[in-house]
Amino acid sequence: MTKPIVIIGGGLAGLFCALKLAPRAVTVLAAAPIGVGASSTWAQAGIAAAVGPGDTIDSHVNDTIIAGDGIVDEKIIRTMATEASDRIHDLLEYGVPFDRDLEGKLAVSREAAHSESRIVRVKGDMAGRAIMQALVKTVEQTPSIRVLEGYVVEQLMLEDGRVVGVAARSEAGASEELHYVEGSNVVMATGGVGHLYEVTTNPTEARGGGIGMAARAGARLADMEFVQFHPTAINVGKDPAPLATEALRGHGATLHNSAGERFMVPLHKDAELAPRDVVARGIFAEVKAGRGAFLDCRTAVHDFAAEFPTVYSYCKDYGIDPVTDMIPVIPAAHYFMGGIWTDINGRSSIPGFWACGECTSTGAHGANRLASNSLLEAVVFSARIADALKTEISAEPSNGWSKGSIETDEHTINADHPNMTRLRKVMSKHLGVLRDEAGMSEALRTILELEEQSHSQRFTNVVTTAKLIAVSALNRLESRGGHARTDYPDEDPAWKRRTLLTLAQAEATIPDLINEHAEN
């Protein structure tokens, strides 16, 4: 009997892959109900695709390369930009109601660092929600897809160097049982790492557990030092922080400090439309200096409630009227350029193990992702995985469900668990928008302590990802894109390359990293 393909994750990449694999048997394991707890559902802007008048694939490729600050893999981004229009059409077939212009053509809007209007949207800022609603509905109507909700995968099962399944436990931690799900192949689509930080736009589930699990199974990782901070999370002390989409700046909204200065103007020729890392650092400096940062949409947006309903309702929840008030903003951990290394077809370095979406590092984003390229990457590479797997797997359905016994004594690690709180604090303080050797070494020491104390496989996976971020950041002796060091403020041509490493290779550098700093 053919085993199913196991997909870990119920966000955009996981569900799109499952649909593209139909009618092959697929089991989707998701910690929360599918579509819930996925960063993709929260995406406001949309999907970048060169489908607007006058736009070209070359222009999309060039903008991505510039934003990615020297280390974008050109072959990967060209593939992604070229396949964008086909994937948008797939989404239309799944029922996504993308906005249209008066002639019925797809409407496109502008975002920072794009030289053309190329963001395909839904009702202004509701793309993520609308896309996920359509996909969830289609998945529910697809008999080859079995969805198991409420399970957190804790371990990849290996046999003779090949991934042959996963071990998962109930999300509530109420069940003592570890369930083994066998798969002909396993596809990871577990999302990013935002919740490793105190201020983030990501849902609680996005704390790097999948990436850590893959690392512990021996998978090769890439670019783990590159975390993207979105410049304009709404600064109202909420966790996760609500987002004020970059499309607002695309519409002409401007940034000011409490003294009324438009502080981005002297910092970059494109001011508010500079690459995301530049704007994030500009805002961070104002917040640190106690002047605060505020997004002024008052003249740029004509009908706020209609054009940006999500942001409008977030603001209203906190007593801010964006029609008459400026919106207080703060940078927030938003997207991870690092992750599980994959090739152009989503294949990882371990046989039988594939990955797509934010948990991967394909090389498409380099050191700093261009806005609205993330949903695009998720659909392009999950479809490529499905294409590659279709040549290997028959369509026979199967059930590889069995039960095992518990191996650890503490299953659940909530966002407010004291160790998680400590981890988030140290990551924000020392591995955030600005970094230096002393701070990062201190962070690494805390991370190692937390790892040693962990009795939970789930937390160990999370802390492993944090460790890889710290080690990669300490090892890169320059500033580039999302990795900004005050002790190495400039780009160094010698570092114009991606970081590729395994957990074992990263761990081998730790004694030197820690000792070097102790000696200084």
- Binding footprint of ligand SIN on the chain (CB under 6 A): 44-45, 245-247, 334-335, 371-372, 374
Q: Which residues contact 109 (CB under 8 A, 6 or more apart)?
A: 45, 46, 117, 119, 121, 247, 250, 251
The catalytic residue among 220, 276, 458, 476 is 276
Residue position matching structure tokens 């109420």:
174
CB of residue 125 to ligand SIN, shortest distance in Å = 7
Distance (Å, rounded) from C-alpha 512 to C-alpha 8? 35
Residue (246 or 277) nearer to ligand SIN, CB: 246
Least Å from the CB of residue 98 to ligand SIN = 15
- Name the minimum Å distance from CB 246 to ligand SIN: 3
Q: Which is nearer to ligand SIN, 360 or 446 (CB)?
A: 360
User: Which residues have C-beta within 8 Å of that of residue 208, sequence separation ≥ 6?
Assistant: 192, 193, 195, 196, 336, 461, 462, 465, 466
The residues pairing with 243 across neighbouring beta strands, listed in sequence order, are 233
Nearest distance from residue 370's CB to ligand SIN, in Å? 8
Question: In the bound complex, what is the minimum distance in angstroms from residue 433's beta carbon to ligand SIN?
Answer: 16
Peptide bond into 240 cis (omega under 30): yes
- Separation of alpha carbons 435 and 429, rounded Å: 8
CB burial string 216-250: b at 16+ within 10 A, e below? bbbbbbbbbbbbbbbbbbbbbeeebbbbbbbbbbb
Token pair listed for 368: 């700093």
Active site annotation includes 497: no
- The sign of the dihedral angle between the CA atoms of 56, 57, 60, 61 is negative
The smaller minimum CB distance to ligand SIN, of residues 334 and 483, is found at 334
β-sheet bridge partners, residue 120: 47, 108
Q: How far is the CB of 151 from ligand SIN (least distance, A)?
A: 28
Do residues 25 and 395 lie in contact, with contact meaning Cβ atoms separated by under 8 Å? yes
Burial 130-151 (b: 16+ CB within 10 A, else e): bbbbbbbebbeebebbbbbebb
Shortest CB 232 distance to ligand SIN, Å = 7
The whole-angstrom distance between residue 265's C-alpha and the CA centroid of its chain comes to: 29
Q: What is the CA radius of gyration of the chain?
A: 22
- Residue (21 or 131) nearer to ligand SIN, CB: 131
Q: Would you call the peptide bond into 23 cis, given omega within 30 degrees of 0 as the criterion?
A: yes
**CB closer to ligand SIN, 111 vs 225:** 111
* CA torsion angle 407 410 412 415 (round to 10): -140
CB of 335 to ligand SIN, least distance (A): 6
44 versus 257: smaller Cβ distance to ligand SIN: 44
Identify which of residues 244 and 469 has a Cβ nearer to ligand SIN in the complex.
244
Provide the token pair at 229.
Answer: 């901070």
CB burial class (10 A; 0-12, 13-18, 19+) of residue 82? middle
Looking at this protein, which amino acid is placed at residue 370? L
3-state secondary structure of 2: coil
Neighbours of 276 (CB within 10 A): 26
Run of H or E residues at 332:
strand 327-336
Taking the least distance from each CB to ligand SIN, the nearer of 253 and 450 is: 253
Min dist CB 90 to ligand SIN, Å, is 19
Point out which residues pair with 141 in neighbouring strands: none
Is residue 345 within 8 A of residue 353, CB to CB? The reply is no
Nearer CB in complex with ligand SIN: 34/370: 370
Residues serving a catalytic function are 276
